[in-house]
Structure 1
């Protein structure tokens, strides 16, 4: 069953609302995510089409295919998006207790600095596995 969640950036200038049915957390350790957040980027899955932001949202084109969103007032990380795919991954830290979602997946796990390796039994994708997931070779079933 779907439930509403609400969150905000550090200063409260940007608010976010969504619904979640079976929310999970995913952590990314790629160089860009670590540079953007000074750690890993942890996203929260939300129901398709339910994510809404209100306030001074600014985006930065961090690559040819992706943007990163942040609050124009306080700089809080808001999301990572792939516009061509219509995909927006919201920052879990915007929501109280990360919407009580469990961590289920790490991207670029082999790039995770040893000082903050995550505990628990969840899937950890290496750099080649992550790249294969998002950019499959022509003819792959992925």
Structure 2
């Protein structure tokens, strides 16, 4: 596995062999976000959040309701107080 510091507050993990994206980690609270396709068994997983909702294509939507954040709202959660 290879780590990439994508910002002051987050890092990404990649496979060293194939460069596949494995996770996105928020450093502040050690919260990981992983593609659901990494798991053989998705039973019990709940899709309840979307980020960068303001950048999604118009044809892209899901049947269930989710908690949605725009890019600005997401970055505001991790902004360093001035």
Indicate whether the TM-score tops 0.5: yes
The structure in which a higher percent of residues are strand is 1
Give the distance between the partners of 2:72 and 2:27, measured in 1 at CA.
23
Please tell me whether residue 126 in structure 1 is matched to residue 63 in structure 2. Answer: no
Query: Quick check: which one's helix share is greater?
Result: 1
Q: Kindly state the Cα deviation for residue 72 of structure 1 after the two structures are TM-superposed.
A: 0.9
Instruction: Give 5+ residue unaligned stretches, structure 1.
Output: 1-56
Q: 1:86 aligns with which of 26, 30, 42?
A: 30
Specify the alignment match of 1:108 in structure 2: 52
3-state SS in 1 of match to 2:13: strand
Aligned length: 82
Q: Distance in 1 between matches of 2:52 and 2:68?
A: 8
Moved over 6 A (4+): none
Gaps of 5+ in 2: none
Measure, in 2, the Cα distance between the counterparts of 1:136 and 1:97: 37
Q: Which stretch has the larger CA shift, 94-103 or 69-78?
A: 94-103
Q: 1:88 to 1:105 in 2, by over 3 A?
A: closer
User: Could you tell me how far apart the structure 1 residues matched to 2:60 and 2:4 are?
Assistant: 26
| Larger relative contact order (CA 8 Å, sep ≥ 6) | 1
User: Offset of 1:103 from its aligned partner?
Assistant: 1.0
- TM-score (norm: length of structure 2): 0.70
Report the CA distance between 1:84 and its aligned residue. Answer: 4.6
3-state SS, counterpart of residue 110 of structure 1: helix
**What do you get for the CA RMSD once the two structures are aligned?**
2.6
